[in-house]
Amino acid sequence: MKVRDFLKSLKEPFFSLEFVPPMRGSSIEEITKVIDKLMVFSPKFINVTNHPIDIEYVEMNDKIVKVPVNKRPGTIGMATAMKQRYPEVEVIPHLVCAGQSKYQLEDTLIELSFLGIENVFVIRGDIENVKNKGAYFSDDEWHYAKELLKQISDMNKGKYLYPIENAAPTEFCVGIAGYPEKHYESLNLYENILHLKEKVDAGADYVITQMFFDFDVYKNFVELAREVGIDVPIVPGIKPVVSLKSLKSIPKRFFVDIPQELVELMKDARSSKEEWKNGIKYMSKLTEKLLNYGAPGIHIFTMGHGKSTYDLLKLTFGKIVNG
């Protein structure tokens, strides 16, 4: 089922999961073990992330070689494996503009269509680190997510980059990312919202937000989005945080603010066990506020960590699962 159709027919709150592919050279066995345990809560869809290439300088044959590499390849392979293993759950691979030409992306979309994948999630990708390391960027690359969205919208109408007569249209439903505390490159939140509207106008069907930890951040974001004419569903994305150490690492990696209430809860904990308990309780209360406000569901960034996600779902969605 396409996510847009599922969201239109929604009768009760749902949750979805997001996983990163394993590191190059690893298997997906550990990830499937995590998902197996979470299936008891009946997630509606699973996102599989994708990443732009990075540049590594590697010693090979007694010399240093500059190598373009994706440290976590396998997005399409993992999505296909998940689709086969969990046929009752929609699987959504991420597509990244950076590092692929628009022609390569067309081929990727054709592959996904042949594999029976109806949903994709489009992001530009963080390209600054790659640029700073001297990676080559082709003129045939899209520089903005809205350009890839337009390409997918065209393919859904049977219009391909290569001129083809009577081309079969694809049938992709497309999700995009929203930044409730603004993308770090945006001048301000309003400009950030205007960029989001450009992506919606280009064909996006729904939005999943970047992680946040304050209910008012989501509420204000949704209200501003509605004011500028964005009418697609906006699903809040959250991440369970169960230690002060991990909490401290989040702002510099994701450019988000941590509410003082959560900071004090973690600082006041007398043990790692209490930190865990306080973090889960805080995130559960945040989830309940979001659902009471009218959020269609909750998207959880697992980072591959099943225990904290399981505990959050048990506390929050256990009531729904158990009737």
Look at 70 and 227; give whichever has higher pLDDT: 227
Q: How many distinct structural domains can be found in the chain?
A: 1
Average pLDDT of the chain is: 91
Average pLDDT of the segment spanning 131-136: 47
pLDDT over 90 (residue 111): yes
CATH number at residue 176: 3.20.20.220
pTM of the shown model: 0.93
d(CA 3, CA 5): 5
Kindly calculate the radius of gyration of the chain based on its CA atoms and give it in whole angstroms: 20
pLDDT over 70 at 138, yes or no: no
- Characterize the bridge pairing of strands 45-48 and 54-60: unpaired
Tens digit of pLDDT for each residue in 290-319?
A: 999 999 999 999 988 899 999 999 998 875
Lowest mean pLDDT among 34-38, 70-74, 275-279, 292-296: 70-74
Q: Which residues of 13-26 are buried (b: 16+ CB within 10 A; e: fewer)?
A: bbbbbbbbbbeeee
Phi, psi of 74 (to 5 degrees): 100, 15
* Residue 156 one-letter amino acid: N
Cβ count within 10 A of residue 142: 20
Q: Is 263 left (phi over 0), alpha (psi -120 to 50) or beta?
A: alpha
Q: Which range among 70-79, 230-239, 281-290 shows the weakest confidence by mean pLDDT?
A: 70-79
Q: Which domain holds residue 301?
A: 3-321
- Summarised one tens digit per residue, pLDDT across range 88-110 is 999 999 999 888 899 999 999 99
Contact call for residues 149 and 203 (beta carbons, < 8 A):
yes
Mean pLDDT (whole number) for 116-124: 96
